[in-house]
Amino acid sequence: MQTISSTQTKFWLRVAFKGFTLFVIANLVFPFSNIDYGKFSLYNLIFMGRLRLPYSEQPSESYNVTITNLDAMFASHILSGKPKFSTEYRVLLIGDSATWGYLLLPDQTLAAYLNEMQLHTPDGKQVVFYNLGYPVMSLLKDVLLLKRGLEYQPDLVLWLVTLESFPMQKQFASPLLEQNQSEVMRMLNDLELNKAMPTPPLVQQPLWKRSLIGQRKALADWFRYQLYGFLWTATHIDHAIPDEIPEKQVDLSADTEFYSQSPPNFDPHFLAFAVLEAAFHLATPTPIILINEPMFISNGLNSQIRYNFYYPRWAYDEYRNLLANFCLERSLTCWDIWNLIPPDEFTNTAIHMTPQGTAQTAQWIATALDKWMQKR
Amino acid sequence: MSIQQVLLLVFLAFLCGRVKNHRIRNFLLIVSSFVIFYRFQTATPIFFLDFWLPTFAILMALTVWAATQTSLKKALKDNLQTLVIALLVISLISANRYLTLCCITATRPPHLWVVLSFIVIFFILLAVFVLAIPHGTRLGLLIIAFIAIFVVLKTPEFSLLLSKVLRWINQQDPRFSSPNDLVWLGISYILFRLLHLLFDSRAGRLPPANLAETLCYIFFFPALVAGPIARFPQFQAELKKSPQLEEVVEGMQRVFIGLFRKFVLADSLALLSLSPQNAPLIQSSIYLWTALLAYSLRIYFDFSGYTDIAIGSARLMGIRLPENFNAPYLKTNLIQFWSSWHITLADWFRSYVFNPLARKLRLNSAMPSWLTILIPQLSTMLLIGLWHGISPNFFLWGAWHGVGLFLNNRWTSLRKSAPSSRFQALQSFFGWGLTFAFVTLGWVWFLMPTFDGAIETFRKLLGFGL
The per-residue pLDDT for range A207-254, each reduced to its tens digit, is 888 888 998 999 999 999 999 999 999 999 999 999 888 889 999 999
CATH of the domain at A114: 3.40.50.1110
Residue A197 lies in a domain: yes
pLDDT digits (tens, 9 = 90+) for A339-371: 999 999 999 999 999 999 999 999 999 999 999
Q: Quick one: which of B324, B339, B90 has its CA closest to B189?
A: B324
| Bridge partner residues of A261 (DSSP) | A258
Residue A5 lies in a domain: no
Average of pLDDT values for B272-288? 94
| A362 or A83, which is more confident | A362
Domain that holds residue A116: 24-240+253-375
Do the Cβ atoms of B59 and B89 come closer than 8 Å? no
Residues of B in Cβ contact (< 8 Å) with A224 = 271
A interface with B, Cβ–Cβ < 8 A, is: 1, 3-6, 8-9, 12-13, 16, 61, 63, 223-224, 227-228, 230-231, 233-237
CB pairs under 8 A between A and B: 60
pLDDT of residue A116 exceeding 60, the answer is yes
Please state, in angstroms and rounded to a whole number, the distance separating the CA atoms of residues B90 and B82.
Answer: 13
Residue A245 lies in a domain: no
Residue A16 lies in a domain: no
- Shortest CA gap B282–chain A (Å): 5
Question: According to the model, what pLDDT value does residue B439 have?
Answer: 97
Question: According to the model, what pLDDT value does residue A1 have?
Answer: 42
Nearest residue on chain A to B248, judged by CA atoms?
A9
Q: Quick one: which of B299, B11, B13, B33 has its CA closest to B185?
A: B33
ipTM comes to: 0.84
Nearest residue on chain A to B290, judged by CA atoms?
A230
Residues of A in Cβ contact (< 8 Å) with B283 = 234-236
pLDDT of residue B402 exceeding 60, the answer is yes
Average of pLDDT values for B354-359? 92
Average of pLDDT values for B348-367? 89
pLDDT of residue B365 exceeding 90, the answer is no
Q: Quick one: which of B192, B193, B163, B159 has its CA closest to B175?
A: B163
Q: Cα dist. A258→A140, A308, A372, B209 in Å? A: 20, 12, 34, 75
From the number of C-beta atoms within 10 Å of its C-beta (0-12, 13-18, 19+), residue A236 rates as middle
- Report the 10 Å Cβ neighbour count for A353: 26
Nearest residue on chain B to A14, judged by CA atoms?
B249
Do the Cβ atoms of B443 and B302 come closer than 8 Å? no
* Among B249, B268, B283, beta carbon nearest to A4: B249
Q: What is the mean pLDDT of chain A?
A: 92
Between CA A27 and CA A36, with CA A31 as vertex, the angle to 5 degrees is 110
pLDDT band at B466; cut points 50, 70, 90? low
Radius of gyration of chain A (CA): 24
pLDDT digits (tens, 9 = 90+) for B217-234: 999 999 998 889 999 999
Nearest residue on chain A to B267, judged by CA atoms?
A224
Question: According to the model, what pLDDT value does residue B180 have?
Answer: 87
pLDDT digits (tens, 9 = 90+) for A244-292: 888 899 999 999 999 989 888 898 889 999 999 999 999 999 999 999 9
Q: Cα dist. A183→A214, B211, B343 in Å? A: 20, 66, 56
Residue A7 lies in a domain: no
- Shortest CA gap A118–chain B (Å): 24
Least confident window among A62-76, B68-82, B141-155, B398-412? B68-82
Do the Cβ atoms of B326 and B349 come closer than 8 Å? no
Question: According to the model, what pLDDT value does residue B124 have?
Answer: 94
pLDDT band at A2; cut points 50, 70, 90? very low
pLDDT of residue A55 exceeding 60, the answer is yes
- Cβ–Cβ below 8 Å for B249 and A12: yes
Between CA A92 and CA A101, with CA A97 as vertex, the angle to 5 degrees is 75
Residue A309 lies in a domain: yes
| B190 or A13, which is more confident | B190
* Among A6, A13, A231, beta carbon nearest to B278: A231
In chain A, the number of structural domains is 1
pLDDT digits (tens, 9 = 90+) for A140-165: 999 999 999 999 999 999 999 999 99
Q: What is the mean pLDDT of chain B?
A: 92
Share of residues in chain B with pLDDT > 90 (%):
74
- Shortest CA gap B203–chain A (Å): 31
Residues of A in Cβ contact (< 8 Å) with B294 = 230
pLDDT band at B416; cut points 50, 70, 90? low
Question: According to the model, what pLDDT value does residue B89 have?
Answer: 95
pTM above 0.90, yes or no: no
Residue A342 lies in a domain: yes
Please state, in angstroms and rounded to a whole number, the distance separating the CA atoms of residues B333 and B330.
Answer: 9
Question: According to the model, what pLDDT value does residue A376 have?
Answer: 79
Least confident window among A14-23, B70-79, B336-345? B70-79
| Bridge partner residues of A159 (DSSP) | A94, A290
Is the C-alpha dihedral spanning B286, B290, B295, B296 positive or negative? positive
pLDDT of residue A3 exceeding 70, the answer is no
pLDDT band at A203; cut points 50, 70, 90? confident
Question: According to the model, what pLDDT value does residue B419 have?
Answer: 61
Residue A115 lies in a domain: yes
Give first-to-last CA distance, chain B, whole Å: 38
Q: Quick one: which of B350, B269, B434 has its CA closest to B341?
A: B350
Element (H, E) at A289: strand A288-292
